[in-house]
Amino acid sequence: EPEVTQTPSHQVTQMGQEVILRCVPISNHLYFYWYRQILGQKVEFLVSFYNNEISEKSEIFDDQFSVERPDGSNFTLKIRSTKLEDSAMYFCASSERDGGNQPQHFGDGTRLSIL
């Protein structure tokens, strides 16, 4: 069964550094998403991406964050000037059509630890 893959599985970074989290969505999917989950809390929407542009973003997704689809397969989340509170599990997801009516399929996540 096709799946969403994410790398790395765990990223440890010093506060203030930049990180790039990588995702390969399912190949025939057109909609891509990033979510995060702080330990012990619920999954939170960050951003959705379709047709090479952001279609929606949450209040969390401020100027510190950016997304890119640099080629035909990868989808990346960049976090600049990382803060301690950015420590969380980051999940990438994709859906065949708009994820309001089609299920979104999640990768197994990148655990980001900011020191």
Partner 1 sequence: RKEVEQDPGPFNVPEGATVAFNCTYSNSASQSFFWYRQDCRKEPKLLMSVYSSGNEDGRFTAQLNRASQYISLLIRDSKLSDSATYLCVVPYNTDKLIFGTGTRLQVFP
Q: Is 76:20 a contact under the CB 8 Å cutoff?
A: yes
Q: 65: which residues sit within 8 A by CB, 6+ positions away?
A: 46, 47, 77, 78, 79, 80
Closest CB to partner 1 among 14 and 59?
59
Q: Is 61 exposed, middle or buried (0-12, 13-18, 19+ CB in 10 A)?
A: buried
Residues that bind partner 1 (CB under 8 A): 31, 33, 35, 41-45, 48, 50, 55-56, 58, 89, 91, 95, 98-101, 103-109
How far lies 24's CA from each of 34, 85, 108, in Å? 12, 26, 11
Closest distance of CB 66 from partner 1, Å: 18
Closest CB to partner 1 among 58 and 66?
58
Closest CB to partner 1 among 10 and 80?
10
Closest distance of CB 24 from partner 1, Å: 14
Closest distance of CB 26 from partner 1, Å: 13
